[in-house]
């Protein structure tokens, strides 16, 4: 897809040079978090352990039933552990929360089983959100946040009688002391003190995420991104003529100066009324009859996608439609069924009676047999 020589985006831009290739922001954010946890050994161990615990209780019916019984015995709300997913970071968050909610039940089941576990929006608004996440991560790099997390972790350990002692530590080889490496070399830092937590886990995770965010979310050119930001009412240079010219030039359009002046006055009054919140609301207010060039520029900015998750989910519909019972289905019917499945929200809003009536008015497919005269 992203190959600069023979990838899909490169071939597409040969015919449409103004097209903009965007790597899905949701996927990029997921890669930021995945690569961060892969680079920090302690974070990688955490999620490997979560996956092992999930497999331990889900694969075995006996262990799963024991887990449910212990939940009932401890008075916990019945819930399941969540499987990890490499493509959906929300699953990672849900898995951590599920483990914290059921930690007492998990520890009690493991003690009784005595089975060891192996160690193991629109683009402008999305960019603002990304910048907000980046600033939030940078603001978290404080001693106060480290102290808070350390106290929370220590409280969980104390409540569940988890020891802080270190087991099986391995030291780096002396010949590697003068080098900086990202590989683990089989060593793990001891996190028994607040200072060790800060330097071995918390700060490395934050620094890695900040670096990944800076390097990954840079697909759109700076000039084009500035033009897109000018269409966003939350931006400082909203409806700036110089910035709007950047995106207009990219799409071979022009923006009239008088339209920008009138639009500023019009949108400022509507913004005070609360009618202007994002680029979508701006586009709806800029009627093409009144603002022909400016509405076209905002429309072009809205067509640049932020995420491809919705499209990819629609691709997976085909697997559920084209089953072995429907192998003889023609291409046209399969195409129409796929559209109905993708647009199911709009389909559910239709009146079934109207659909049946329209179908009844279609030219009938069956014709009565012709009456033949008597044979001579």
Q: Please tell me the distance from the alpha carbon of residue 53 to that of residue 338, in angstroms, as a whole number.
A: 38
Q: What's the pLDDT at 111?
A: 79
Q: Please tell me the distance from the alpha carbon of residue 266 to that of residue 264, in angstroms, as a whole number.
A: 5
The sign one gets for the Cα dihedral 152, 162, 206, 44 is negative
pLDDT at 119 over 80: no
Q: What is the mean pLDDT of the chain?
A: 79
pLDDT at 70 over 70: yes
Q: What's the pLDDT at 118?
A: 43
106 three-state secondary structure: helix
Q: Please tell me the distance from the alpha carbon of residue 79 to that of residue 70, in angstroms, as a whole number.
A: 12
Q: What's the pLDDT at 187?
A: 56
- pLDDT winner (highest mean) among 31-40, 85-94, 278-287, 319-328: 278-287
Residues in contact with 72: Cβ distance below 8 Å, sequence separation at least 6, in sequence order: 78
Q: What's the pLDDT at 224?
A: 80
Q: What's the pLDDT at 180?
A: 47
Note if the pTM is more than 0.85. no
By the 8 A CB rule, do 191 and 200 touch? Answer: yes
Percent of the chain whose pLDDT exceeds 70: 80
- With CA atoms as reference, report the closest residue to 91 among 54, 122, 117: 54
Q: What is the pLDDT of residues 200-222, one digit of tens each?
A: 888 888 888 888 887 776 556 66
- With CA atoms as reference, report the closest residue to 214 among 136, 130, 142: 130
pLDDT at 231 over 50: yes
Q: Please tell me the distance from the alpha carbon of residue 127 to that of residue 230, in angstroms, as a whole number.
A: 13
Q: What is the pLDDT of residues 73-109, one digit of tens each?
A: 888 888 888 887 766 666 777 888 888 888 888 888 8
Torsion-angle region of 252 (φ positive above 0: left; ψ -120 to 50: alpha; else: beta) = left
Q: What's the pLDDT at 366?
A: 60
What angle in degrees, to the nearest 10, is found between the helix axes of 89-101 and 103-113?
Answer: 70
By the 8 A CB rule, do 233 and 153 touch? Answer: no
Q: How confident is the model at residue 177 (pLDDT cuts 50, 70, 90)?
A: low
pLDDT at 117 over 50: no
Helix, strand, coil abundance in the chain, percent, nearest 5: 60, 0, 40
């Amino acid at each position: 897809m992203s190959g600069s020589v023979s990838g899909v985006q490169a071939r597409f831009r040969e015919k449409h040079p103004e097209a903009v290739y965007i790597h899905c922001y949701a996927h990029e954010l997921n890669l930021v978090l995945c690569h961060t946890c892969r680079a920090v050994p302690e974070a990688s161990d955490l999620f490997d352990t979560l996956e092992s615990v999930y497999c331990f209780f889900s694969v075995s019916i006996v262990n799963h039933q024991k887990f449910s019984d212990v939940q009932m015995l401890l008075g916990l709300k019945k819930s399941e552990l969540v499987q990890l997913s490499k493509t959906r970071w929300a699953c990672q968050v849900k898995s951590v929360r599920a483990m914290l909610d059921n930690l007492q039940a998990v520890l009690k089941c493991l003690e009784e089983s005595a089975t060891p576990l192996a160690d193991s929006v629109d683009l402008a608004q999305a960019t603002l959100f990304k910048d907000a996440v980046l600033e939030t991560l940078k603001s978290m790099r404080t001693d106060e946040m480290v102290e808070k997390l350390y106290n929370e972790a220590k409280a969980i350990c104390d409540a569940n009688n988890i020891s802080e002692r270190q087991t099986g530590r391995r030291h780096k080889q002396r010949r590697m002391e003068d080098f900086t490496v990202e590989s683990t070399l089989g060593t793990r830092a001891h996190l028994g003190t607040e200072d060790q937590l800060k330097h071995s886990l918390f700060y490395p995770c934050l620094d890695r995420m900040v670096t990944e965010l800076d390097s990954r979310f840079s697909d759109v050119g700076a000039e084009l991104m500035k033009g897109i930001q000018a269409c966003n009412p939350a931006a400082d240079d909203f409806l700036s003529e110089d910035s709007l010219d950047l995106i207009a030039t990219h799409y071979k359009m022009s923006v009239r100066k008088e339209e920008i002046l009138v639009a500023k006055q019009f949108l400022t009054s509507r913004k005070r009324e609360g009618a202007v919140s994002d680029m979508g609301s701006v586009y709806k207010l800029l009627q093409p009859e009144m603002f022909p060039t400016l509405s076209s520029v905002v429309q072009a900015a809205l067509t640049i996608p932020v995420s491809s998750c919705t499209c990819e989910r629609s691709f997976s519909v085909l697997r559920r439609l084209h089953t072995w019972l429907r192998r003889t289905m023609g291409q046209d019917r399969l195409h129409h069924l796929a559209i109905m499945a993708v647009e199911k929200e709009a389909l559910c809003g239709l009146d079934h009676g109207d659909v049946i009536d329209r179908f009844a008015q279609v030219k009938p497919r069956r014709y009565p047999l012709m009456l033949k005269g008597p044979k001579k």
